[in-house]
Amino acid sequence: MESTNLTANAGSIPASLRKTYEEAGQGHVFRFVDAGKVTAQDANELVENLQHYDPHQVAALFNRSTKANSVADAAADEVTPLEEGVVHQLSETAPELKEKWLDLGLEAVSKGMAGALVLSGGQGTRLGFAGPKGIFSRCEFAKYRRWHRLAST
């Protein structure tokens, strides 16, 4: 059994595992092992953990998520004000129209065309709002790109 005090080196990583990760552009995960900054036991644990992942899939997921963020950021810069007459006060809206909107909303949800953002405690605080999240003004959303990031993840 190896001592936990022995330092690992590049030879601590099986060649086939290293090749798989390097081909997927994920060879950097061995950086600290290669530099001799971890123990042999830590290197063995790393090898065991890495054998459970598909580095090609990890790289693809990372690339897809960063591409989505850049597309979303570009789209956020293209937001324009609503046309006049599009916004309605619910207190001044006829019940029939409210019911129509509810039906349209439920239909959109059932077709997977609508999304929702549910916030747990602390998000308002991170945005500089100390009150209950239920009274956070929708107009405040526009001030924070963080809402966009939260909604797109």
In a domain, 86, yes or no: no
What is the extent of the structural domain holding 141? 115-153
**Residue 3 maps to a domain:** yes
Residue 130 within any structural domain of the chain: yes
Question: What is the distance between the alpha carbons of residues 75 and 77, in angstroms, rounded to a whole number?
Answer: 5
Specify the number of domains making up the chain.
2
Tell me the β-bridge partners of 39.
Answer: 7
Same domain, 67 and 4: yes
Q: Per-residue pLDDT tens for 14-38?
A: 999 999 999 999 999 999 999 999 9
Quote the pLDDT of residue 151.
Answer: 64
Q: Say if pTM beats, i.e. exceeds, 0.75.
A: no
Dist CA 110 CA 104 (whole Å): 10
Q: To the nearest 10°, the Cα dihedral for 138, 139, 143, 146? A: 10
Residue 97 domain flag: no
Verify that 123 and 71 share a domain, yes or no.
no
CA distance 25 to 15: 15
What is the tens place of the pLDDT at every residue in 54-75?
Answer: 999 988 988 887 787 676 666 6
